[in-house]
């Protein structure tokens, strides 16, 4: 089996505070996508994912081991999938996440999203999400409240399809 190849498709570093980052016109020629994100907030906030500008058809389950204890949550037919849950920058440590989009370009099944995120101040989290659509994912929006701070980085990688 060949080693998967990660191609950097787009890199965004915020030069001003922003409430969202959007990757659009995503090439459908890869097997999977990965976003590596390092961001900060002014205070406490959440980072969420919306696919194809769809305001429904997202569901998720989360697990967290936070500084205040264990937590879990679920959401169905929502307008997002969480990428972080109540991340805090109060201690000067900022969240980071690895977000996997599996078979994002397939048109014969729903899409799966896996998220691992955390930081020193808040704890660690794992989320599993479903995008209940057979449409290929061509747009990924990451959005938050409050704004993400200057210097936050978001890198989108394509993982080459395995050749037969």
Percent of the chain exceeding pLDDT 90 equals 54
Confidence of residue 48 (pLDDT cuts 50, 70, 90): very high
CA distance 99 to 33: 8
CA distances from 120 to 87, 109, 146, 153 (A): 10, 37, 19, 18
Condensed to tens digits (0 to 9), the pLDDT of residues 23-41 reads 999 999 999 999 999 988 8
Instruction: With beta carbons less than 8 A apart as the criterion, state whether 53 and 139 touch.
Output: yes
Tokens of 48: 């969420």
Average model confidence (pLDDT) for the chain? 86
Bridge partners of residue 152, in order along the sequence = none
| pLDDT higher than 60, residue 143 | yes
pLDDT of residue 5: 82
Q: What is the DSSP letter of 39?
A: -
In the β-sheet with 140-148, what is the strand arrangement from edge to edge?
18-23, 140-148, 44-51, 81-88
pLDDT of residue 40: 84
pLDDT of residue 45: 77
E-strand ranges in the chain read: 6-13, 18-23, 32-38, 44-51, 58-66, 69-78, 81-88, 96-102, 111-119, 123-131, 140-148, 153-159
pLDDT of residue 95: 81
Condensed to tens digits (0 to 9), the pLDDT of residues 71-118 reads 667 777 688 888 886 665 555 667 889 999 999 999 999 999 999 988
Write down all domains in the chain, each with its CATH number in brackets.
19-159 (2.60.120)
CA distance 102 to 83: 15
pLDDT of residue 66: 67
Confidence of residue 1 (pLDDT cuts 50, 70, 90): low
- For the entire predicted model, the pTM comes to 0.90
């Amino acid at each position: 089996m060949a080693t998967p190849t990660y191609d950097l498709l787009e890199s965004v570093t915020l030069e001003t505070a922003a409430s969202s980052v959007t990757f659009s016109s995503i090439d459908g020629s890869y097997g999977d996508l990965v976003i590596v994100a390092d961001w900060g907030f002014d205070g406490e906030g959440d980072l969420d994912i919306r696919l194809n500008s769809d305001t429904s058809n997202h569901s998720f389950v989360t697990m967290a081991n936070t500084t205040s204890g264990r937590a879990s949550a679920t959401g169905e037919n929502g307008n997002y999938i969480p990428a972080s849950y109540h991340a805090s920058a109060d201690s000067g440590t900022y969240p980071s996440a690895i977000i996997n989009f599996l078979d994002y370009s397939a048109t014969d099944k729903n899409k799966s999203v896996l998220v691992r995120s955390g930081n020193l101040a808040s704890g660690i989290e794992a989320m599993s999400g479903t995008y209940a659509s057979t449409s290929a994912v061509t747009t990924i929006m990451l959005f938050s409240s409050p704004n993400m701070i200057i210097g936050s980085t978001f890198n989108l990688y394509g993982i080459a399809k395995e050749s037969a």
